[in-house]
């Protein structure tokens, strides 16, 4: 049985089609990434899977349970780590978890044991009785992950889990996520604006744009889709002219212009760069900077959406989730 399955999933808000026929099959235990710019339909898709928003048409199920007809059952099977802070800063870590356990109707004789278990898992056992307002940002994210696991969900949704954290703390959070996925076999759905995060963590990735999935595969296969090396040229003026000239070169596989930056996929980028600069000089076009790198998920994202993904674009996250059986 698939952990998550959608068939021709649509969502319309008045005259706007936010999601246009998305089809997904996510395996049990898979760590699946959803990437997309603001307004692409990513958050709406996740909101439907979490039963927050009802689909206009099509179907979606979590371990065979329909999100529309069995919303209470689905809510009891999923956990969410929200993007926006959702802890009570005036309670201790243990008290936050206890409140969550009551909300999810965890048996009273099991709550204490489960709290100890998840606090150990995220290495916060020694902070159990500390008021959350004294926690660091990374500690709060770890506590939110612990809270999402308390009721033993089969699917965990992670909405921008490391947004705003410093690089070292982000990598620590990655370690916890990988450990949970590997040891607990929990199916995870990750949304992120960090391409390196998606590359590091996800088994597969779907890129959503204009309400549709435009690419879906493993990170490695997606990067292979670009092929060769990527040359990035900053061209403040004459970028369209230079693009036209360079894409005529036989060894240039593809070209893309985004915000005055010209991206070219080529074989043997180190030999291509001098040729590109010669063409620019012949055309009288200034190129203040030029760089070369192997394909990344950022290149894939730009290829399929025509734009860069920026951290400050991060959406406001899920809203309106009040636990199992609540509306």
**Domain extent listing, the chain:** 4-221, 228-294
Instruction: Specify the DSSP class assigned to residue 230.
Output: E
Taking the CB of residue 28, how many other CB atoms lie within 10 A of it?
14
pLDDT of residue 240 exceeding 70, the answer is yes
The stretch 130-157 carries a mean pLDDT of 94
The pLDDT value recorded for residue 315 is: 47
228-294 domain in CATH 3.30.70.980? yes
More confident: 37 or 320: 37
The band of 324, judged by pLDDT with boundaries at 50, 70 and 90, is: low
The pLDDT value recorded for residue 116 is: 96
| 277 three-state secondary structure | helix
How is residue 149 written in tokens? Answer: 């696991």
The band of 317, judged by pLDDT with boundaries at 50, 70 and 90, is: low
The band of 327, judged by pLDDT with boundaries at 50, 70 and 90, is: very low
More confident: 28 or 307: 28
Q: Is the pTM of this model over 0.85?
A: no
CA distance 51 to 62: 10
**Chain CA centroid to CA 205, Å:** 8
**Cβ atoms of residues 297 and 195 within 8 Å:** yes
**Cβ atoms of residues 183 and 207 within 8 Å:** no
Protein fold of 4-221: Rossmann fold (3.40.50)
pLDDT of residue 313 exceeding 70, the answer is no
The pLDDT value recorded for residue 309 is: 65
The pLDDT value recorded for residue 139 is: 93
The stretch 65-91 carries a mean pLDDT of 93
pLDDT of residue 326 exceeding 50, the answer is no
**Nearest one of 243, 228, 239, 229 to 288, comparing CA atoms:** 239
Lowest mean pLDDT among 237-241, 247-251, 312-316: 312-316
Residue with tokens 């406001």: 316
Q: What is the pLDDT of residues 109-121, one digit of tens each?
A: 999 999 999 999 8
């Amino acid at each position: 049985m698939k952990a998550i399955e959608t068939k021709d999933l649509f969502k319309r808000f008045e005259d706007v089609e936010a999601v246009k026929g998305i089809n997904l099959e996510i395996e049990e235990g898979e760590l699946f990434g959803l990437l997309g710019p603001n307004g692409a339909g990513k958050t709406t898709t996740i909101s439907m899977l979490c039963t927050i928003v009802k689909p206009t048409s099509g179907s979606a199920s979590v371990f065979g349970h329909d999100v529309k007809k069995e919303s209470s059952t689905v809510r009891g099977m999923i956990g969410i780590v929200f993007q926006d802070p959702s802890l009570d800063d005036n309670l201790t870590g243990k008290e936050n978890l206890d409140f969550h356990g009551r909300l999810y109707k965890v048996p009273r004789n099991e709550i204490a044991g489960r709290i100890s278990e998840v606090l150990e898992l995220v290495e916060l056992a020694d902070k159990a009785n500390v008021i959350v307002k004294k926690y660091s940002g990374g500690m709060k994210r770890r506590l939110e992950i612990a809270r999402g696991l308390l009721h033993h969900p089969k699917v965990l949704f992670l909405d921008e889990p490391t947004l705003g954290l410093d690089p070292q703390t982000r990598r620590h959070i990655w370690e916890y996520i990988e450990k949970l996925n590997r040891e607990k076999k929990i199916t995870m759905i990750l949304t992120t604006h960090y391409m390196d995060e998606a590359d590091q963590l996800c088994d597969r990735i779907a890129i959503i744009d204009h309400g549709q999935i435009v690419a879906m595969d493993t990170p490695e296969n997606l990067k292979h889709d670009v092929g060769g090396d990527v040359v990035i040229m900053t061209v403040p003026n004459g970028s369209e002219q230079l693009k036209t000239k360079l894409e005529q070169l036989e060894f240039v596989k593809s070209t893309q212009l985004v915000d005055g930056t010209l991206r070219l996929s080529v074989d043997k980028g180190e030999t291509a760069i001098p040729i590109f600069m010669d063409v620019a000089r012949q055309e009288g076009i200034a190129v203040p900077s030029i760089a070369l790198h192997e394909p990344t998920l950022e290149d894939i994202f730009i290829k399929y959406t025509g734009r860069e993904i920026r951290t400050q674009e991060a959406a406001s996250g899920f809203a309106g989730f009040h636990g199992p059986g609540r509306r």
